[in-house]
A and B are shown apart, each in its own frame.
Chain A
């Protein structure tokens, strides 16, 4: 363990570092569990359904799917870490409680957790990208665009998950959220099939939700194409992140300092 922080280090980084240290102990199991899902989906759907579907938006279906699964895989990993990891540390194990006896504030702890959740998501997104690259489904030219987009996307979903965590009193809420919010989000985002297949009203509604702009940005980067809504997509994601973080912080402060 080589922690060389000084008092000037950002306080939230200690929270991120704590999570990294404990994650490192079971890294292999964590890694296999999280990365298996999107890769199985990519290969299963891509190889199985791809030949039936043929070309989608001028590219093989599996290449089309890769862009969607990089984003949805990263989102799922971020949500999983926040829902089960951060919530357990906050509510079950009282790890946050020990941190809050130190100089750390609730905002530091929450931001550290959000950054850690985003880190886990980004790592999974990059791995799915590398696997897709190895199979030749995506090109390597876009590597340097993928990472910044994943950071923005994962921070956004980490903040949204933090908001859910701030209200949770048990794991049941996360199952409900997955079923009624995140799964429909995947099917309306254009990750699995082109958004143009959906009725106009649903497409408009979906474009206001955070996954649609995420997928749009990722596909644009993968295809090296100009994304006409680039700025508005980034603004939508940033707005979700800022509002969700602010609300989560307010709710958690009320819960922790009771």
Chain B
């Protein structure tokens, strides 16, 4: 059975759908990215999966356990890196991780060895005896990740795992994710860092308005955009978008640009030939284009 199976999950708050018929599956050894704009429902989806958010319709199975009735057993085999780390500031790094192991009912030499191994893996050994209050945000983020791995989880849920990390920190997280995937760990992650999603995830689900609007392998979804996109930057984005649509160019408006897909550079330049102050460039399609496209299709 797949580690995560969400079937037709809906959640309503005061009659308004927060999650709307969400279907999601994550296999063993797969890293699945859950992406979308702010307020799209990513965190609510994760809360529902780990049993912290009640659902009104549908079912969620985590590691074969029905989360409505058996969430405790499922959580014992899951690691979670939340957005807010909730580390104990007065305790040392090692004590924090040991304590978290105790919450799982784990202790003894095996856990001490595992802590040392994990700290080494994420280049944190030199911080082992430092108090959390003495450390930077990036180091705390890495410690959250180590903490989530202490119970040797079969499923890892990462909510913005590298939000405070520098480039080298992000790279070590991506390397760790790849290593975990090769060991058969299923990973579900959300991130606003699209390059991280592209590097780490095998498949993505794009969520917008509480609904999964697109799902599939990253490569195949980028191919659906035609491989490359035309990026337009100009003063009056709305007017330029209208001109393009009149010329039958498939485009969607981002916060500061227009992205055209399934078209040619010449066609776009021809459509905008009379517009002033327009910068047109061709570049490779990225996951952020997929998100912007999904958001536009949802009327966002």
Contact = CB atoms under 8 A, between A and B. Distances in A.
Contacts of A169: none
A102 B104 contact: yes
Contacts of A100: 52
Interface in A142-200: none
Nearest to B111: A3
B52 A3 contact: no
Contacts of B102: 3, 5, 14, 17-18
A7 B75 contact: no
Interface stretch (A89-97, A233-241, A244-252): A89-97
Given A1-B95, A22-B88, A102 B76 contact: yes
Interface in A48-107: 93-95, 97-105
Nearest to B74: A103
B107 A5 contact: yes
B103 interface: yes
| Dominant SS among interface residues on chain A | loop
Given A5-B107, A25-B90, A101 B95 contact: no
Q: What's the interface size class on A, roughly?
A: 20 to 34
Given A18-B88, A22-B88, A105-B72, A5 B105 contact: yes
A101 B53 contact: no
Contact of B100 (A6, A7, A9, A98): A98
A73 to B, nearest CB: 26
Nearest to B11: A258
Contacts of B158: none
Contacts of B220: none
A26 B51 CA distance: 35
Nearest to B105: A7
A11 interface: yes
B37 interface: no
B153 to A, nearest CB: 11
B107 A3 contact: yes
Contacts of B86: 93-95, 97-98
A21 interface: yes
Nearest to A7: B105
A256 interface: yes
Contact of B76 (A1, A3, A26, A103): A103
B100 A257 contact: no
A4 B108 contact: yes
Interface string A113-152: 0000000000000000000000000000000000000000
A6 B108 CA distance: 8
Nearest 7 CB-CB pairings of A with B = A98-B86, A102-B103, A7-B105, A101-B80, A103-B76, A14-B102, A25-B90
Interface of A: 1, 3-9, 11, 14-15, 17-18, 21-22, 25-26, 93-95, 97-105, 256-258
Given A5-B106, A14-B103, 18 more contacts: A1-B98, A1-B99, A3-B101, A5-B105, A6-B105, A11-B103, A14-B99, A17-B102, A25-B91, A93-B86, A94-B86, A97-B82, A101-B78, A102-B151, A103-B76, A103-B103, A257-B51, A257-B53
